[in-house]
């Protein structure tokens, strides 16, 4: 679930913008784009969400309820654009789901100003306007203004949701002995030095070393929520850069350390507005906890509930913003380079 401020002109432009709005190219899905009236006769995008075609009819209310609560600069959602993006096998379910979502919006006083269907979001593919009974072709989604802006900001548009999920796949396990040896040598300096080094790496947009990764993993493996939460203070170096660093850190970790690292990744991704990636990170955390027979971090459950409820990224950001230097010093140690 993502939020952007931009205007959409035509049906073709709308469909071409969907990959950049979502952060990936959806397949066999129903996409809902909610709009707020900007007060001068045009609309601004409030939120974009996707649901699997086969789940769209049954999940219509679950999709629409949170979407209908969003605003843009205080202006409520008043309209929606719906798109069924589904091949011949899934088109029937997608179109039925689209109608169910349309009805759910109507019941909340939100009108659907455009309903579209296409088999895929690739350049040159034909689409149909379901209400106007007109056809058209989709321009190249990679060349849209929004795609260019997302790329310029360091964002990635995945070719599919599977590509997003692949970001959070585990890699070769890092030896815990690496971190244990460092802890034995560093003593009381272990946590504060590790925290400071990670802050410097994120600030410089560098790749965490194997040694640093192992040390962060050992800190997270303790299961102490206070230590995990302190790492969320890395937001001061940029949510996107922090998410990238913790994604790399989570990959070679296992068990409690990996579940906590992925939860932190999900938090930072949520703050950037990348709901699809945040959801994928949380699902990876859930799989990790299940396979290791561990209790899922409570924060992961809270973030999942926030996503399901459609909580806006700005509200979720407040979780980390209360983690002050004093909090970090109390739970990590005397941090020298926090800012």
Q: Is 259 exposed, middle or buried (0-12, 13-18, 19+ CB in 10 A)?
A: buried
Relative orientation angle of helices 145-152 and 11-22, to the nearest 10 degrees: 20
Task: Point out the least confidently predicted range of 106-115, 171-180, 325-334.
Answer: 325-334
If residue 69 lies in a helix (H) or strand (E), which one and from where to where? none
Residue 97, pLDDT > 90, answer yes
Q: Give, in degrees to the nearest 5, the angle at Cα 284 between 287 and 151.
A: 170
| Cα separation, 198 vs 230, whole angstroms | 12
For the cut 50, the answer to whether the pLDDT of residue 337 exceeds it is no
Give me the mean pLDDT over the 241-250 stretch. Answer: 96
* Strand blocks (E) in the chain: 29-37, 43-52, 71-72, 75-85, 111-118, 126-129, 134-137
Average pLDDT over residues 246-256: 97
pLDDT higher than 60, residue 338? no
SS3 of residue 158 by DSSP:
strand
Averaged pLDDT, 295-306: 92
pTM across the whole model? 0.78
- CA–chain centroid gap for 109, Å, is 28
What's the CA gap between 107 and 22, in Å, rounded?
Answer: 25
CA distances from 147 to 11, 84, 141, 279, 280 (A): 17, 21, 7, 21, 21
pLDDT of residue 154: 65
**Can you say whether residue 120 is alpha, beta or left, with left for phi > 0 and alpha for psi between -120 and 50 degrees?**
beta
Average pLDDT score over residue span 120-129: 96
Spell out the residues 6+ positions from residue 100 whose beta carbon is closer than 8 angstroms to its own: 56, 57, 60
């Amino acid at each position: 679930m993502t939020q952007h401020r931009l205007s959409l002109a035509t049906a073709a432009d709308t469909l071409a913008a969907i990959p950049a709005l979502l952060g990936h190219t959806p397949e066999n899905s129903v996409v809902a784009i909610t709009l707020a009236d900007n007060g001068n006769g045009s609309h601004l995008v409030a939120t974009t969400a996707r649901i699997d075609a086969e789940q769209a009819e049954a999940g219509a209310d679950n999709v629409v309820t949170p979407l209908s609560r969003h605003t843009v600069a205080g202006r409520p959602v008043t309209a929606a654009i719906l798109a069924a993006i589904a091949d011949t096998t899934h088109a029937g379910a997608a179109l039925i789901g689209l109608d169910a979502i349309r009805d759910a919006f109507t019941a909340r006083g939100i009108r659907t100003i455009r309903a579209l269907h296409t088999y895929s979001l690739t350049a040159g593919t034909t689409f149909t306007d379901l209400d106007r009974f007109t056809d058209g072709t989709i321009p190249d989604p990679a060349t849209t203004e929004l795609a260019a802006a997302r790329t310029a900001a360091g964002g990635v548009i995945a070719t599919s949701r599977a590509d997003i999920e692949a970001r959070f796949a585990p890699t070769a396990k890092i030896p815990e002995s690496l971190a244990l040896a460092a802890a034995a040598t560093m003593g009381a300096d272990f946590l504060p030095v590790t925290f400071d080094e990670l802050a410097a790496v994120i600030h410089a947009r560098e790749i965490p070393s194997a040694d640093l990764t192992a040390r962060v993993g050992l800190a997270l493996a303790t299961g102490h929520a206070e230590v995990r939460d302190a790492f969320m203070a890395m937001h001061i170096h940029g949510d996107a850069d922090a998410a990238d660093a913790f994604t790399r850190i989570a990959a070679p970790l296992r068990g409690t350390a990996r579940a906590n690292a992925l939860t932190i990744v999900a938090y930072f991704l949520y703050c950037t507005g990348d709901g699809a990636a945040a959801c994928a990170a949380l699902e990876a955390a859930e799989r990790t906890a299940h396979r290791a027979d561990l209790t899922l971090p409570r924060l992961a459950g809270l973030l999942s509930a926030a996503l399901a409820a459609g909580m806006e990224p700005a509200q979720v950001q407040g979780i980390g913003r209360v983690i002050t230097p004093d909090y970090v010093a109390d739970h990590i140690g005397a941090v020298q380079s926090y800012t």
